[in-house]
């Protein structure tokens, strides 16, 4: 997970390869950003035999303390296996 | 719930791990579907998973890989079972413990070296019902075990203590995860806490398994506390002193360390602050106990010794215990005694049915006490068979006089010290049972029941318990009763002693002289029915959680229980059998039967089993003159007793029991026959000139007619006249002729079946009935010995014994003169 900050915006990049957008939930509470989600075993694993599973699957949860200040979730996009969040600073 | 990983990675692959990791085979067949109560089983070697705990499991075996994949694919839980022996490579069901924990697979992952692992979270305990065939891994039908969290003060105290100690242990662990203490602190469920702590502690797998299998929550908490205390000690010692010195350390030093720890723990738990506070508390408690002056002086003396002593001294706790005893005794606590005779009468009646004379005697006793409270009243002693209400009368007296009730069991007491205590110089010494009972009563004037005074052991090596008891009971001495442990006198003069005994004879003479004996003889059948109706039925309904609307028992059923299932003077077994009946009903209701259950006599066989007649047989036939016959009835056979007795007279016969004419004739024939054979019975020839005979067939629901009781009548008479009893396990049937022949009769099958049911093992039957043998069911035939008889002599020989009735060489001569 990467965090960048510009004057107006806080950028947060979370690597979520193989996670469908509707399996991700984002919450901001008490100055903490919480990303929870779920990557089930891919359908192929369900019909076949597992030889290797190295990409994490199952439920996950990441929490990051945000820098001081108030933020508002501005936009999010899931691209190239990464979730990009932008939080606008409220002054 | 709580997620953490243990320091040492549990690894079920054991020694095979280093080799090439097993690869799942790629062909997959469709498997039979698993039922809901079935689990895919993964056997593990060195780990025990608890509910709520997250642990990684390495899959070293092909079967385990297949099992985990099947579960991951279908999002099914797995069950982890510990191997009994970690060295077994391919465990069979019998190599596994039966109890384990079900788990959901949170993650399935493979390491870069190609090994397979799962991360599991424990869900619930389960027990294996049966293993299932037909899967490429182990699978079993299981029973899930609910964790029921009870909340009460005892549990809460343990939870509190366990949390404190667990956190202490975590702080001592070299590299404990930081969230662990947090998790321990915030957990609310007692069973969850015990499981979590057991899980992170560095225990042998077998010890963890033991905790897993401990379902009672309190026991589990205690077990974990105990294990943890040991761990803490080890951790502390190894941290503070280092491993080498630990072995060399002297026992005293170790004890010192442990005591320091103990203090630290107690302090942490807020149990004590320090010694001076303890002394101050004790001092206050001594003042509050309102001891007599002499006792208080002694207590203060001991207290100042305690103050000067280091807490680690072994004597410290001995003195402490002693002081606790002095403080706890009711030196000046008295129940207010206010005897209202009318009220006492009311209480006695409320608790007991009948017993008029005894109640009156008790009331007299109480009236005298009321008039002269300080007078020396005698000690009551209730003597009677078990279960007639001796103990419960004692309780009633306590209730009627507003006193506490305590019981001291004297059965088997054969050492004076059991009554009077051991000197304090013995390790682990305690006061005797009199002072212990006083402490339990909490007052100085309870009703103290000295139970089974007739079973007091004879004095031997250690002094005579009876003489110690005499001192207890003697009003001249018992105001300064000296218990060896206390060493100071205690005033027992306000205590009301009541003794109980089954027999008078074995009570030591001097004791008996001090007591006023009240005999309780036992109850008649009708009294028992009343007692059951008024007391026992209600009590047992309540004990089994039933209401009168749910279950009722008829008087006839009560009577049947009394007659057929109990044989006692009191009502204890009766109460137990009633309890057994209600338990059965309660079970049925629990199984979903609704509506009111009415128990009649016909239900008893099904619930209580076959009637217990054997004891009756033995009792009835324990005197000469009683023989057991067999009767045929429209609803099967039954046994019946023929009772004969002699009274002064001149050879007349009296028959009672509402006998039919044919049966009366049988009796006449039996009598004539026996008269004719009087010389062969070894009694004076003028026997019948001096005696009348009375034959009675006791009442019962048996039609009393027909000739088949003839042989039983003859045997009863032979027994009466010879003075020898009839064997209790023999029954007989057969008509007799005046010439002493035994003639065939009907209903053989029913009669033999009834005999077997009643516990008869030998049946005498007329030889000419042999053809009926085939009708008798095999299982009955196997349990009964048949003797086929042609003549009355043979019956007498088999039922009474040899040499009772001399055999006639020539049957013709036995022709008897008609009366
Ligand atoms: N007359 C009665 N009325 C009501 N209940 C009675 C009566 N007699 C006995 N019981 C009940 O029978 C049970 C057995 O009585 P108890 O325990 O007093 O017997 P016991 O005489 O002390 O026997 P043991 O010699 O075995 O100690 C008690 O539950 C008691 O309440
Ligand atoms: Mg008793």
Contact B40, B34 (CB under 8 A): yes
Instruction: Give the mean model confidence (pLDDT) for residues B115-141.
Output: 91
Identify the pLDDT of residue B264.
64
A50:B69 CB<8 A: yes
Q: Which pairing describes strands B762-766 and B785-789: parallel, antiparallel, or unpaired?
A: parallel
- If you ran DSSP here, which 8-state letter would residue B31 be given? P
| Whether residue B230 has pLDDT greater than 50 | yes
Average pLDDT of every residue of chain B? 84
Our answer on whether the CB atom of B348 is closer than 6 Å to any ligand 1 atom is: no
> How far away is chain A from the Cα of B47, in angstroms, using its nearest Cα?
23
On chain B, the residues whose CB falls within 8 A of the CB of A51 are: 23-24, 110
DSSP string spanning B460-487? BTTB-HHHHHHHHH-TTTGGGEE-TTT-
> pLDDT: is A73 or B721 the higher one?
B721
CB pairs under 8 A between A and B: 40
Q: How many residues does chain B have?
A: 819
Nearest ligand 1 atom, CA B352: 3
Return d(Cα B668, Cα B553) in angstroms, integer: 44
Q: What is the pLDDT of residues B52-88, one digit of tens each?
A: 888 889 998 989 999 999 898 888 999 999 999 988 8
Confidence category of residue B630, pLDDT binned at 50, 70, 90:
very high
Q: What is the largest CA-CA distance in chain B?
A: 115
A41:B108 CB<8 A: yes
Of B570, B573, B574, the one to substitute when testing ligand 1's pocket (max ligand atoms within 8 A of C-beta) is B570
B179 in contact with A at a CB cutoff of 8 Å? Answer: no
Our answer on whether the CB atom of B409 is closer than 6 Å to any ligand 1 atom is: no
Phi, psi of B193 (to 5 degrees): -65, -50
| Whether residue B243 has pLDDT greater than 70 | no
Q: B717 Cβ partners below 8 Å, 6+ apart?
A: B625, B644, B670, B671, B674, B693, B695
Q: B450 burial class (0-12, 13-18, 19+ CB within 10 angstroms)?
A: buried
Our answer on whether the CB atom of B394 is closer than 6 Å to any ligand 1 atom is: no
Of B571, B575, B578, B579, the one to substitute when testing ligand 1's pocket (max ligand atoms within 8 A of C-beta) is B571
Identify the pLDDT of residue B818.
42
> pLDDT: is B3 or A49 the higher one?
A49
Rg from Cα positions in chain B: 39
Nearest-CA residue for ligand 1 atom 9 is B389
| Whether residue B460 has pLDDT greater than 70 | no
Identify the pLDDT of residue A34.
85
Calculate how far, in angstroms, residue B351's C-alpha sits from the geometric centre of ligand 2.
15
Strands of the sheet with A32-39, listed across from one edge: A24-29, A32-39, A58-65
Of B359, B392, B454, the one to substitute when testing ligand 1's pocket (max ligand atoms within 8 A of C-beta) is B392
Residues 110-139 on B with a CB inside 8 Å of A are 110, 112, 114, 116, 119
In the numeric block, the tokens 């109706």 are attached to: B533
Q: B565 Cβ partners below 8 Å, 6+ apart?
A: B573, B577, B604, B608, B611, B612
> How far away is chain A from the Cα of B118, in angstroms, using its nearest Cα?
10
**Three-state SS for B115?**
coil
> How far away is chain B from the Cα of A45, in angstroms, using its nearest Cα?
7
**So what's the ipTM on this one?**
0.74
> Any idea which residues of B carry the catalytic annotation?
708, 751
Task: Catalogue the E-assigned strands of B86-169.
Answer: 99-110, 116-132, 138-145
Return d(Cα B449, Cα A44) in angstroms, integer: 80
In this structure, which residues have their CB less than 5 angstroms from ion ligand 2?
B 391
A42 in contact with B at a CB cutoff of 8 Å? Answer: no
Q: With a threshold of 0.80, does the pTM exceed it?
A: no
Calculate how far, in angstroms, residue B502's C-alpha sits from the geometric centre of ligand 2.
9
Nearest-CA residue for ligand 1 atom 30 is B389
A48 in contact with B at a CB cutoff of 8 Å? Answer: yes
B110:A50 CB<8 A: yes
Identify the pLDDT of residue B6.
36
Return d(Cα B560, Cα B553) in angstroms, integer: 11
Identify the pLDDT of residue A1.
78
B630, B674, B638, B627: which is closest to B653 by C-alpha? B674
Calculate how far, in angstroms, residue B359's C-alpha sits from the geometric centre of ligand 1.
14
Q: Which residue of A has its CA nearest to B112?
A: A54
Nearest-CA residue for ligand 1 atom 4 is B352
Return d(Cα B11, Cα B13) in angstroms, integer: 5
Confidence category of residue B681, pLDDT binned at 50, 70, 90:
confident
Between vectors from CA B617 to CA B611 and to CA B623, what angle results, nearest 5°?
160
Helices vs strands, H then E, count in chain B: 30, 24
Our answer on whether the CB atom of B567 is closer than 6 Å to any ligand 1 atom is: no
- If you ran DSSP here, which 8-state letter would residue B412 be given? T
| Whether residue B319 has pLDDT greater than 70 | yes
């Amino acid at each position: 997970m990467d965090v960048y900050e510009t004057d107006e915006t806080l950028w947060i990049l979370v690597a979520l390869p193989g996670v469908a957008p509707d399996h991700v939930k984002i919450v901001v509470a008490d100055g903490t950003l919480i990303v929870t989600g779920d990557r089930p075993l891919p359908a192929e694993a369900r019909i076949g035999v597992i030889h290797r599973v190295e990409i994490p699957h199952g439920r996950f949860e990441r929490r990051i303390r945000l820098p001081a200040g108030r933020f508002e979730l501005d936009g999010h996009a899931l691209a190239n296996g990464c979730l990009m969040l932008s939080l606008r600073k409220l002054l | 719930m709580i997620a953490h990983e243990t320091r040492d990675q549990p690894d079920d692959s054991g020694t095979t791990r280093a080799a090439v990791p097993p690869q799942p085979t790629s062909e997959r067949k469709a498997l039979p579907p698993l039922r809901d109560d079935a689990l895919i089983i993964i056997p593990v070697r060195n780990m025990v998973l608890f509910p709520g705990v997250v642990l990684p499991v390495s899959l070293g075996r092909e079967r385990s890989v297949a099992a985990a994949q099947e579960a991951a694919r279908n999002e099914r839980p797995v069950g982890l079972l510990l191997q009994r022996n970690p060295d077994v490579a391919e465990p069979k069901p019998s190599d596994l413990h039966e109890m384990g924990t079900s788990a959901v697979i949170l993650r399935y992952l493979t390491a870069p070296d190609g090994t397979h692992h799962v991360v599991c979270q424990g869900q619930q305990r389960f027990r294996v019902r049966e293993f299932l065939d037909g899967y490429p891994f182990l699978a079993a039908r299981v029973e899930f075990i609910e964790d029921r969290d009870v909340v009460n003060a005892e549990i809460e105290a343990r939870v509190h203590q366990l949390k404190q100690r667990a956190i202490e242990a975590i702080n001592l662990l070299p590299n404990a995860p930081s969230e662990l203490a947090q998790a321990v602190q915030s957990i609310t469920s007692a069973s969850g806490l015990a499981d979590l702590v057991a899980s992170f502690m560095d225990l042998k797998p077998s010890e963890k398994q033991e905790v897993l299998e401990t379902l009672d929550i309190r026991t589990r908490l205690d077990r974990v506390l105990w294990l943890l205390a040991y761990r803490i000690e080890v951790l502390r010692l190894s941290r503070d002193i280092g491993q080498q010195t630990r072995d060399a350390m002297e026992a005293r030093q170790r004890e010192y360390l442990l005591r320091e720890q103990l203090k630290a723990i107690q302090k942490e738990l807020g149990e004590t602050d320090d010694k001076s506070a303890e002394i101050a508390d004790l001092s206050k408690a001594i003042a509050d106990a309102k001891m007599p002056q002499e006792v208080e002086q002694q207590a203060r003396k001991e207290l100042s010794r305690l103050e000067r002593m280091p807490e680690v001294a072994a004597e410290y706790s001995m003195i402490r215990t002693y002081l606790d005893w002095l403080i706890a005794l009711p030196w000046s606590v008295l129940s207010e005694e206010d005897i209202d005779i009318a009220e006492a009468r009311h209480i006695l009646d409320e608790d007991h049915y009948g017993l008029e004379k005894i109640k009156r005697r008790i009331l007299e006793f109480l009236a005298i006490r009321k008039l002269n409270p300080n007078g020396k009243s005698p000690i009551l002693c209730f003597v009677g068979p078990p279960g007639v209400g001796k103990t419960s009368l004692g309780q009633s007296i306590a209730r009627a006089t507003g006193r506490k009730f305590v019981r001291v069991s004297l059965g088997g007491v054969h050492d004076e010290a059991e009554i009077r205590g051991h000197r304090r110089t013995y390790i682990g010494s305690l006061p005797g049972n009199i002072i212990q009972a006083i402490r339990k009563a909490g007052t100085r004037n309870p009703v103290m029941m000295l139970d089974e005074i007739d079973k007091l052991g004879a004095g031997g090596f250690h002094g005579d318990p009876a003489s110690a008891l005499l001192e207890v009971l003697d009003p001249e001495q018992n105001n300064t009763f000296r218990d060896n442990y206390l060493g100071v006198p205690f005033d027992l003069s306000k205590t009301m002693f009541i003794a109980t005994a089954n027999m008078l004879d074995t009570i030591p003479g001097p004791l008996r002289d001090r007591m006023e004996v009240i005999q309780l003889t036992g109850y008649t059948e009708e009294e028992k029915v009343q007692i059951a109706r008024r007391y026992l039925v209600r009590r047992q309904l309540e004990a089994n959680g039933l209401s009168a609307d749910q279950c009722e028992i008829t008087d006839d059923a009560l009577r049947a229980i009394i007659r057929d299932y109990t044989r006692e003077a009191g009502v204890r077994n009766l109460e137990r059998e009633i309890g057994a009946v209600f338990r059965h009903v309660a079970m049925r209701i629990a199984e979903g039967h609704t509506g009111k259950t009415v128990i009649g006599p016909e239900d008893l066989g099904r619930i209580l089993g076959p009637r217990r007649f054997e004891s009756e047989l033995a009792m009835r036939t324990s005197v000469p003159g009683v023989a057991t016959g067999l009767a045929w009835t429209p609803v099967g056979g039954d046994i019946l007793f023929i009772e004969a007795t002699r009274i002064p007279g001149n050879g007349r016969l009296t028959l009672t029991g509402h006998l039919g004419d044919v049966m009366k004739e049988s009796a006449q024939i039996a009598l004539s026959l026996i008269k004719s054979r009087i010389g062969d019975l070894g009694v004076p020839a003028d026997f019948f000139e001096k005696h009348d005979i009375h034959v009675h067939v006791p009442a019962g629901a048996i039609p009393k007619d027909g000739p088949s009781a003839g042989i039983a009548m003859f045997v009863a008479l032979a027994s009466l006249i010879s003075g020898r009893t009839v064997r209790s396990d023999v029954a007989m049937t057969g008509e007799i002729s005046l010439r002493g022949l035994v003639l065939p009769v009907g209903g053989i099958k029913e009669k033999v079946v009834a005999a077997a049911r009643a516990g008869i093992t030998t049946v005498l039957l007329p030889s000419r009935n042999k053809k009926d043998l085939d009708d008798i069911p095999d299982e009955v035939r196997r349990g009964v010995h048949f003797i086929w008889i042609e003549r009355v002599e043979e019956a007498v020989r088999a039922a009474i014994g040899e040499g009772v009735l001399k055999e006639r060489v020539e049957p013709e001569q036995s022709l008897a003169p008609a009366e």
